[in-house]
Amino acid sequence: MAGNTFGTLFRFTTWGESHGPAIGVIVDGVPPRLPLAEPDIQQWLDKRRPGQSRYTTQRQEPDQVKILAGTFNGETTGTPISLQIDNVDQRSKDYRNIADRFRPGHADYTYWKKYGIRDYRGGGRASARETASRVAAGAVARKVLGPDIAIRGALVQIGPHPIDRATWDWAETERNPFWCPDAATAVRWADYLDGVRKAGSSAGAVIEVVASGVPAGLGEPVYDKLDGDLARAMMTINAVKAVEIGAGFATVALGGEENGDEMRMVDGKVKFLSNNAGGILGGISSGQDIVVRFAVKPTSSILKPMRTVDSEGNEVEIETHGRHDPCVGIRAVPVGEAMMACVLADHLLRYRAIGG
Amino acid sequence: MAGNTFGTLFRFTTWGESHGPAIGVIVDGVPPRLPLAEPDIQQWLDKRRPGQSRYTTQRQEPDQVKILAGTFNGETTGTPISLQIDNVDQRSKDYRNIADRFRPGHADYTYWKKYGIRDYRGGGRASARETASRVAAGAVARKVLGPDIAIRGALVQIGPHPIDRATWDWAETERNPFWCPDAATAVRWADYLDGVRKAGSSAGAVIEVVASGVPAGLGEPVYDKLDGDLARAMMTINAVKAVEIGAGFATVALGGEENGDEMRMVDGKVKFLSNNAGGILGGISSGQDIVVRFAVKPTSSILKPMRTVDSEGNEVEIETHGRHDPCVGIRAVPVGEAMMACVLADHLLRYRAIGG
Amino acid sequence: MAGNTFGTLFRFTTWGESHGPAIGVIVDGVPPRLPLAEPDIQQWLDKRRPGQSRYTTQRQEPDQVKILAGTFNGETTGTPISLQIDNVDQRSKDYRNIADRFRPGHADYTYWKKYGIRDYRGGGRASARETASRVAAGAVARKVLGPDIAIRGALVQIGPHPIDRATWDWAETERNPFWCPDAATAVRWADYLDGVRKAGSSAGAVIEVVASGVPAGLGEPVYDKLDGDLARAMMTINAVKAVEIGAGFATVALGGEENGDEMRMVDGKVKFLSNNAGGILGGISSGQDIVVRFAVKPTSSILKPMRTVDSEGNEVEIETHGRHDPCVGIRAVPVGEAMMACVLADHLLRYRAIGG
Amino acid sequence: MAGNTFGTLFRFTTWGESHGPAIGVIVDGVPPRLPLAEPDIQQWLDKRRPGQSRYTTQRQEPDQVKILAGTFNGETTGTPISLQIDNVDQRSKDYRNIADRFRPGHADYTYWKKYGIRDYRGGGRASARETASRVAAGAVARKVLGPDIAIRGALVQIGPHPIDRATWDWAETERNPFWCPDAATAVRWADYLDGVRKAGSSAGAVIEVVASGVPAGLGEPVYDKLDGDLARAMMTINAVKAVEIGAGFATVALGGEENGDEMRMVDGKVKFLSNNAGGILGGISSGQDIVVRFAVKPTSSILKPMRTVDSEGNEVEIETHGRHDPCVGIRAVPVGEAMMACVLADHLLRYRAIGG
């Protein structure tokens, strides 16, 4: 398979199944002498950790990270950083009924077709549990980026309900269980999701991740463009079906003169008058905020019965019990932030290589 | 930079500037003994070639491809295939006025910030002319995929005007200058684009690319997922700002039971009852049609004057004359098809490596 | 750094320091449904394990491997295999005196120059302890290669004393502590090494690794040639300073007609009359035995005092106590075998990708 | 195949067959604003060019290089550099008799086994003609390294005749047709090779390449070690069968105290008292001269008849006429220099990425 590695210079490799003894990530290419200790990583894992509200899975995982290699006296040494998280709350017996049945919308069927074998317990390798490793890698990436680059994410839509962007307040994202930047919408989402959960259904979401303070010059045309790598990064997150940069699909309906971000000089510096480009032109960062949005489909594991087939070719129905997020998109916020951090760290190192 | 290569096993590297003597592509990793001659490639280049209607640039490039290496007696040999296209209709003097001024929405500013030097003539390396190399690589990829996999593209929106999907007819895409699958909409688009062109403005577009006959099992979780690679592939095409797979952003508003594609047995084979997944589950192809859509922003080079700055830090205005596509998305159709072909060819070879 | 990964399709990444809590390896790209359990790996680690004779380090490491991911019910699943070995017998205080002094011939100086920080305990990441991870990866690679490909290694020289190749007996390599295929020489080496050890010195060695049953066709010209990858593989083993294929340096003194391996037909199959090529022509396996030899320099950590400098720029002397192999080349035999297995597994998968 | 690319950040891809219309190389990852024009490259190609003495092939190739992309106004732009050399003196009919017969020692047999098709004319892709592309890439690499790093090569052995290292004079390498640093030996080689040529035989050679002025810190442990990459680089050159770093195989017979290069302070700087390590410790450059030696086997295409088989499985004899180098190692000197330059350039950029 050899598909479990991401990045060129800042490069990480993840491993582990949902119900195996542990999951982990090797982060390679980290410059030496950066301060790094377990709490630096734990804070971001805590943000993603399940079981923190009734809107996410009730699986209780402390997600306690251990650094097994790559630091000395609290600093990175330039050698690979090995991070490990034990799985402690597996309930594999919940998954017996999916051992032979393919959940619609899930990877069950395609893993079985591709590999002829699958660890069905909790979704195995295809479980969103893998994203904890991404968050751990992202914590290291933030160290590479340094304090001047800020990466923040927010949920901007759940089901058919978008936020009101006019009332956007980053501080609000810390005050509700949805990372919602708009307090009024957060209240409505709570009601909406309670209904979804009671109905045994699930809901999708749109996440927006913004990186501020990114210098101009990151991105390697033409196939390693910054937006190309971001698109891949986000699309590989479980359940993501769409990615857009800046104004994204909305640019289509604009005239060229509306879409192009005009420039003026302010205090001797170039200032753009808008940011339809999402901070990327020709695949290279422009110095504006990098803005990425991605769509997470509704959780595929639901209580409602659905028609499917089994591995013997019988037509069957399936209801998925286990413990699932009614809106898996909520916990995708810290994951999206982490992937943004990793892509930027990789491109920062690549830019330095040619003198940037 | 080292960013001009795409793919792992089926791997191509492109080179060349808009106004240099030639452009080209090296396609490496092609299995031996596939029939390949220049007309096999030329047919796809002719589809993308500029100057074929009043809705695309009037630059006249015959785009005649030469095979310089990698075949013997009309068959591939397993060695790298070198394809070259001479540039014949450069008019570099048209670009004098952009030598020092940054066109809003274009890569001028970011190339200058990153490299401190740029070949401004025709956009240099950032020109959409590079996409001819992609189309040539895609023609080789189709040979790898064989005749049972069909890849077709269509324009499904120009500016604010989407097609009527109820009247979709693939045959129609060959009969109008827009690759529009809906005859009535094509007529409306012609009017609309005439207005855009006269106004010195430009329009965006949405392209949909569909691959049929793709076997289940292509895609390498978790970072080399098929959809991750497709997202990167499409996002690296000039002017693309968004990519979605299957129902994409629309999945967000669906309940889990609406989104999951149910399965039944038909004639002893698994049949999905819908295709919201766009043929990809868990990053692996399911055997359904692979469906990708991407947004192309309106052409940045327009006649209307825009506010910008120059490389000396002066505030200036710019009008771009040269010869430009009023809707660069039109010619992105064969480019999107080519990138789809290249991604699938790469993953087909990767799948074979593990016995697929 | 991002230099801790080896291979393209069969790809492994190692991590861990000599005196950290553990070391490990992630093996990615392994085809599914291969039987794999811990004893399959343990048998090869036991072969390399230290402390088994007075000719190797007295550090007592059980080197007990755990499989943390990638298998299900005793078979590989196609997902990354995570293997881990705890470090149990570190004596870091032995290394206090090298915290600031650079052992001649060791990586101390260069790590310090490159990274400005180093985990000096036991050599940190530069320790030969890392090679246990290679051996673990090699055990997985052998599963990929299957039972028809046999990989065996032997020590063919210690210090100035080569074996007598006329009496080569593979079975003998299992009967002496040197993997020596020549019983008489093994006896002489025992005497010689006792003298070396008593003198507080160390000795170099030459290892020969032979792979039999390798099909013709492995290797990807021109930069991923099989011999190029083998040369890199062996040269990256600690203390290796030279690599040769087949007759190697000895080919230089041969005439072309002596060097070229002539071919005849025997029982309807091509048979080579000699094997100066070491089984590789033009970077591709020919079906003959693959033969690689590499030189391991004498252990750099010795009791004899040597002149060096410290990190403050003072001229000092250094004697290295700790527990060291008087001839580190002995334990390089299973490591060389493992690297051969990994290179062949990678190229077998690559060959399959194009239909081989 | 996908094996025609070398390097990570400074990365080049070569293409072309011996008797195709042209050969070429794409050099990607070159930092911007380096002066680069065709004469900068031509000077090195002229050094490798065939037909310059009676000791090399009489094929007359001007090897005139063209820059097709990647520079603007005489400077690199950061975009891929495309270099092309036309083939002008093919005599394909000379090769008819090898169309179906496999030359012993040559890649004929293995290409046929692997690909089932081969361009036999002049050896096709397996011809040493490919090395012209390496020399062109090396010329660009030297620009990246800058004037303070000097890379020089010499022939130190032909057939059984080594040079006398006591009389080494770099200036001498420019005065004889062998790049021999020892004038007296050059005279003896001339006699020796005349005999070899008249006998219809061929001779091997050992090349030594030395890089001076390389800063400490280049090389990425543990699998991308500088010596690992150099070993691969040299081993992929046509006909190379062995590579050693520093004292190489000779270290085996040394005691640890003889082999370790001791250090003293001279003028406030670290000075090594010997260079058995060849300038590399733990895979990282130490600041000493980097010293690599490699063995080139005798040319496989010889006039003397040899026993072989044909593609139909018949036992036949073969004499190779065509125009061949009696000692192909002679022209390997500039090729070895080029590969050294490319490896160092790649690692210099990689080191810069982490702050080096």
Phi, psi of A14 (to 5 degrees): -110, 160
Query: Which of B123, B95, B97 is CA-nearest to residue B109?
Result: B123
Determine contact: C259 vs chain D, CB below 8 A. yes
The pLDDT, as a whole number, for residue C320 is: 84
Contact B32 D125 (CB under 8 A): no
Contact A355 D31 (CB under 8 A): yes
**Cβ of C98: how many Cβ atoms within 10 Å?**
23
Using a CB-CB distance cutoff of 8 angstroms, which residues of chain D are in contact with residue C221? 1, 3-4, 107, 125-126
Percent of chain D whose predicted confidence (pLDDT) is above 90: 87
The pLDDT, as a whole number, for residue C8 is: 96
- Range D181-199 average pLDDT: 96
Determine contact: C99 vs chain B, CB below 8 A. no
pLDDT at A324 over 90: no
**pLDDT digit string, tens, across residues C98-115:** 889 999 999 999 999 999
- Residue matched to tokens 């005497």: C191
Before D292, cis peptide (omega within 30)?
no
Residues 6+ apart with CB under 8 A from C355: B31, B32, B352
Comparing alpha-carbon positions, the chain B residue that sits nearest to D119 is B72
Distance in angstroms (rounded) separating the CA atoms of residues D256 and B257: 71
Identify whether the C-beta of residue B44 lies closer than 8 Å to the C-beta of residue B57: no
DSSP E strands, chain C:
5-6, 11-16, 22-28, 65-69, 71-72, 75-76, 81-86, 150-158, 161-162, 205-212, 240-245, 263-266, 269-272, 280-281, 284-285, 290-296, 306-309, 315-318
Identify whether the C-beta of residue C65 lies closer than 8 Å to the C-beta of residue C41: yes
Query: What six digits make up the tokens of A112?
Result: 């079985």
Among D249, D317, D330, the strongest candidate for a mutation testing the C interface, having the largest count of C CBs within 10 A, is D249
Using a CB-CB distance cutoff of 8 angstroms, which residues of chain A are in contact with residue B241? 227, 244-249, 251, 277-278
The pLDDT, as a whole number, for residue D92 is: 67
The pLDDT, as a whole number, for residue A323 is: 67
The pLDDT, as a whole number, for residue A227 is: 98
pLDDT at D1 over 60: no
Distance in angstroms (rounded) separating the CA atoms of residues C28 and C15: 14
b (16+ CB within 10 A) / e for C222-233? bbbbbbbbbbbb
Phi, psi of D101 (to 5 degrees): -115, 145
SS3 D218: coil
pLDDT at A54 over 90: no
Q: Return the sign of the alpha-carbon dihedral for residues D312, D313, D316, D317.
A: positive
The pLDDT, as a whole number, for residue D89 is: 78
Comparing alpha-carbon positions, the chain D residue that sits nearest to C107 is D282
Query: Which of D179, D172, D211 is CA-nearest to residue D292?
Result: D211
- Residue B2, min C-alpha distance to chain D (Å): 4
Distance in angstroms (rounded) separating the CA atoms of residues C179 and C173: 4
**pLDDT digit string, tens, across residues A156-202:** 999 999 999 999 999 999 999 999 999 999 999 999 999 999 999 99
Which segments in chain C show pLDDT lower than 50?
A: none
The pLDDT, as a whole number, for residue B94 is: 67
SS3 A351: helix
Please write down the HEC assignment for all residues of chain B: CCCCEECCCCEEEEECCCCCCEEEEEEECCCCCCECCHHHHHHHHHHHCCCCCCCCCCCCCCCCEEEEECEECCEECCCCEEEEEECCCCCHHHHHHHCCECCCCCCHHHHHHHHCCCCCHHHHHHCHHHHHHHHHHHHHHHHHHCCCCEEEEEEEEECCEECCHHHCCHHHHHCCCCCCCCHHHHHHHHHHHHHHHHCCCCCCEEEEEEEECCCCCCCECCCECHHHHHHHHHHCCCCEEEEEECCHHHHHHCCHHHHCCCEEEECCEEEECCCCCCCEECCEECCCCEEEEEEECCCCCCCCCEEEEECCCCEEEECCCCCCCCCCCCCHHHHHHHHHHHHHHHHHHHHHHCCC
How does DSSP classify residue D35?
Answer: B
Please report all neighbours of A, defined by 3+ CB atom pairs within 8 A.
Answer: B, C, D
Distance in angstroms (rounded) separating the CA atoms of residues C316 and C342: 42
Please report all neighbours of D, defined by 3+ CB atom pairs within 8 A.
Answer: A, B, C
Residues 6+ apart with CB under 8 A from A324: A57, A202, A299, A301, A302
Distance in angstroms (rounded) separating the CA atoms of residues C102 and C123: 11
Half-sphere exposure of C309 (CA within 13 A, CB side): 18
Identify whether the C-beta of residue D113 lies closer than 8 Å to the C-beta of residue B29: no
Determine contact: A217 vs chain B, CB below 8 A. yes
The pLDDT, as a whole number, for residue B92 is: 67
Distance in angstroms (rounded) separating the CA atoms of residues C188 and C180: 11
pLDDT at A93 over 80: no
Distance in angstroms (rounded) separating the CA atoms of residues B332 and B338: 10
Comparing alpha-carbon positions, the chain D residue that sits nearest to C244 is D242
The pLDDT, as a whole number, for residue B96 is: 73
Using a CB-CB distance cutoff of 8 angstroms, which residues of chain B are in contact with residue A262? 104, 306-308
pLDDT at A59 over 90: no
Identify whether the C-beta of residue C340 lies closer than 8 Å to the C-beta of residue C290: yes
Query: Which of D21, D4, D22 is CA-nearest to residue D13?
Result: D4
The pLDDT, as a whole number, for residue D151 is: 98
Half-sphere exposure of C78 (CA within 13 A, CB side): 29
**pLDDT digit string, tens, across residues D92-123:** 676 777 889 999 999 999 999 999 998 988 88
Note the pTM of the prediction, 2 decimals: 0.97
Percent of chain C whose predicted confidence (pLDDT) is above 90: 87
> Which one of D106, D202, D223 has the shortest CB-CB distance to C236?
D223
Taking only residues 34 to 73 of chain C, the set having a beta carbon closer than 8 angstroms to any beta carbon of chain D reads none
Distance in angstroms (rounded) separating the CA atoms of residues C210 and C216: 15
Determine the distance from the C-alpha atom of residue B216 to the mean position of all C-alpha atoms in its chain, rounded to a whole number.
24
The pLDDT, as a whole number, for residue D245 is: 98
Identify whether the C-beta of residue A293 lies closer than 8 Å to the C-beta of residue A248: yes
- Residue matched to tokens 């790093």: D149
* Bridge partners (DSSP) listed for residue C203: none
Contact A349 D349 (CB under 8 A): no
Query: What six digits make up the tokens of A331?
Result: 């916990």
Which segments in chain B show pLDDT lower than 50?
A: none
Identify whether the C-beta of residue D11 lies closer than 8 Å to the C-beta of residue B76: no
The pLDDT, as a whole number, for residue C168 is: 98
Identify whether the C-beta of residue D17 lies closer than 8 Å to the C-beta of residue B79: yes
**pLDDT digit string, tens, across residues D219-251:** 999 999 999 999 999 999 999 999 999 999 999
- Residue matched to tokens 């010689």: C192
- Residue D90, min C-alpha distance to chain C (Å): 21
Percent of chain A whose predicted confidence (pLDDT) is above 90: 87
Query: What six digits make up the tokens of B313?
Result: 């830090």
Determine contact: A32 vs chain D, CB below 8 A. yes
The pLDDT, as a whole number, for residue A51 is: 67
SS3 D33: coil
